[in-house]
């Protein structure tokens, strides 16, 4: 008797249900966490929020990581970078970056998507020598955040564009890691750097000699992290390097790399990144004047993310397709491609991370950078969503929603 009433209700909530049981749920969680951080940072709990993450746990002479914020950024985030490294290695060996025809367009797009935002940033804020170090902040795309927005669209976006966005973001992560290692490394301690190289070499040897147990790799990875921490190279690079040594060889149908990625990816997406987001996204803006919010630094970052990303990536895609260098993603029109390139302007996790490195010790400038990141990311998310929403609805969308509605009890 109630079926005529229940079925429209199930159909109405199917897109939401499909969203939260899909990979996009990690992005949705990140959006909610960022919003929560901003609310708390501008509430009566602001002092407690700041104290939680920045109050000293012990003197710096005892151990470098003496605040919860440092433990999150330099310690916990190693797991995030480890998962990034696993994804990169898998893609290079057996995924979308494993052959020239698959990787040409994503690599070209990602390079342009890093270069143009950096150029826009330097054009706007480069005249101030204190701000020039932030040139890489708008160069990164947040995979989870961007995929979360795509999740809101159901199957409206073709699968080929989802895969393209994911691949570009992975190449983007590779570039961001290289930028952190090359441009945000402080004074080097050669002894600890040599130890780091030695530990990394030992891990490569364990791979070559067929070590099948996780424990030796875990112990070596911790040692590599400590050595990197004391060497001056940012400690999170240890996560990527350690991941590259994990064997990809199949054993009983599964590789150690695949097991590690499947086991750790949910922890990274639903635990590490949300904690990082909550610890870093909160900015107290109530006492800020408009001149501070729209000063050169926030404007440069927001413009780099929103304008630079889409301009660089979309231009390269059009040029590559017109010149016959690469093929346009299947089942996608130019409007949909443009909409997805706008979403690449969502730079959250890696952008926040780089801003902490670029302006280390200058909290006022870091807060201004965070405002630019949030503005650019929010504008990119909204405009990208609208641009994709007004495209032609793909036939398979109805089938997906029908299945989700039928599966809803």
Residue 40 corresponds to which tokens in the numbers above? 């708390």
Mean pLDDT, the chain, whole residue set: 85
Say if 241 falls within a structural domain.
yes
Domain housing 54: 23-185+234-406
At 287 the pLDDT is 77
Burial 262-275 (b: 16+ CB within 10 A, else e): eebeeebbeebbbb
Quick check: 196 and 228 in contact, CB under 8 A?
A: yes
The answer to whether residue 214 is domain-embedded is no
Instruction: Give tens-digit pLDDT for 93-137.
Output: 887 777 777 788 888 999 999 999 999 999 999 888 889 999 999
Residue 201: inside a domain: no
* Strand positions, DSSP E, 70-141: none
Q: Taking a C-beta distance cutoff of 8 angstroms, is the pair 237, 179 a contact?
A: no
Query: Are 221 and 203 in contact, with CB atoms under 8 Å apart?
Result: yes
Does residue 212 lie within any of the structural domains? no
How does residue 263 score in pLDDT terms, banded at 50, 70 and 90?
very high
- Residue 174 belongs to some domain of the structure: yes
Span 368-374, average pLDDT: 94
Position 199 in a domain = no
Q: Look at residue 36 and tell me whether its pLDDT is greater than 60.
A: yes
Whole-angstrom Cα distance, residue 296 to residue 311?
A: 20
> How many other β-carbons are positioned within 10 Å of the β-carbon of residue 44?
7
User: Phi/psi at 324 (nearest 5 deg)?
Assistant: 80, 15
Could you tell me the CATH number of the domain that includes residue 166? 1.20.1530.10
| pLDDT (0 to 100) of residue 395 | 52
Mean pLDDT of all residues in 195-207: 95
30-37: average pLDDT:
90
Average pLDDT over residues 27-40: 89
Residue 79 forms part of a structural domain: yes
pLDDT at 394: 55
| Cα angle 85, 87, 90; round to 5 | 110
Does residue 287 fall inside a structural domain? Answer: yes
Full-prediction pTM beyond 0.85? no
* Domain count within the chain: 1
What's the pLDDT tens digit per position in 286-317?
877 887 788 999 999 999 999 999 999 999 99
The helix (run of H) or strand (run of E) holding residue 251 is strand 250-251
Cβ contacts of 370 within 8 Å, gap of 6 or more? 280, 281, 283, 352, 355
Percent of the chain with pLDDT over 90: 48
């Amino acid at each position: 008797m109630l079926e005529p009433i229940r079925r429209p209700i199930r159909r109405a909530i199917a897109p939401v249900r499909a969203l939260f049981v899909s990979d996009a749920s990690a992005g949705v969680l990140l959006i909610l966490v960022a919003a929560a951080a901003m609310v708390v940072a501008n509430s009566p709990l602001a002092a407690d929020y700041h104290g939680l993450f920045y109050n000293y746990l012990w003197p710096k002479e005892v151990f470098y990581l003496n605040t919860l914020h440092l433990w999150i950024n330099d310690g916990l985030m190693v797991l995030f970078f480890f998962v990034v490294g696993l994804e990169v290695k898998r893609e290079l060996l057996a995924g979308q970056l494993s052959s020239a025809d698959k990787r040409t367009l994503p690599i070209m797009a990602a390079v342009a998507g890093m270069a143009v935002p950096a150029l826009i940033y330097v054009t706007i804020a480069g005249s101030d020598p204190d701000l020039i170090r932030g040139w890489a902040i708008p160069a990164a795309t947040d995979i989870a955040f961007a995929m979360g927005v795509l999740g809101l669209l159901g199957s409206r976006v073709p699968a080929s564009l989802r895969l393209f966005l994911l691949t570009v973001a992975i190449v983007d992560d590779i570039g961001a890691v290289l930028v952190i290692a090359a441009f945000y490394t402080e004074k080097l301690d050669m002894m600890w750097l040599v130890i780091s190289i030695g530990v990394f070499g030992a891990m490569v040897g364990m791979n070559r000699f067929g070590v099948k147990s996780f424990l030796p790799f875990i112990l070596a990875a911790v040692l590599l992290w400590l050595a990197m921490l004391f060497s001056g190279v940012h400690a999170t690079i240890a996560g990527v390097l350690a991941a590259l040594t994990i064997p990809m060889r199949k054993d009983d149908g599964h590789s150690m790399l695949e097991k590690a990625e499947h086991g750790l990816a949910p922890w990274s997406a639903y635990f590490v990144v949300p904690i990082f987001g909550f610890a870093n996204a909160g900015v107290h803006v109530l006492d800020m004047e408009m001149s501070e919010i729209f000063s050169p630094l926030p404007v440069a970052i927001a413009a780099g993310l929103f304008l630079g990303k889409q301009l660089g990536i979309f231009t390269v895609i059009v040029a590559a397709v017109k010149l016959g260098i690469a093929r346009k993603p299947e089942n996608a029109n130019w409007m949909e491609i443009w909409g997805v390139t706008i979403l690449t302007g969502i730079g959250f996790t890696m952008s926040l991370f780089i801003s902490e490195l670029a302006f280390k010790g200058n909290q006022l400038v870091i807060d201004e950078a965070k405002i630019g990141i949030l503005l650019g990311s929010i504008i990119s998310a909204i405009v990208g969503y609208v641009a994709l929403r007004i495209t032609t609805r793909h036939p398979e969308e109805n089938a997906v929603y029908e299945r989700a509605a039928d599966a809803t009890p």
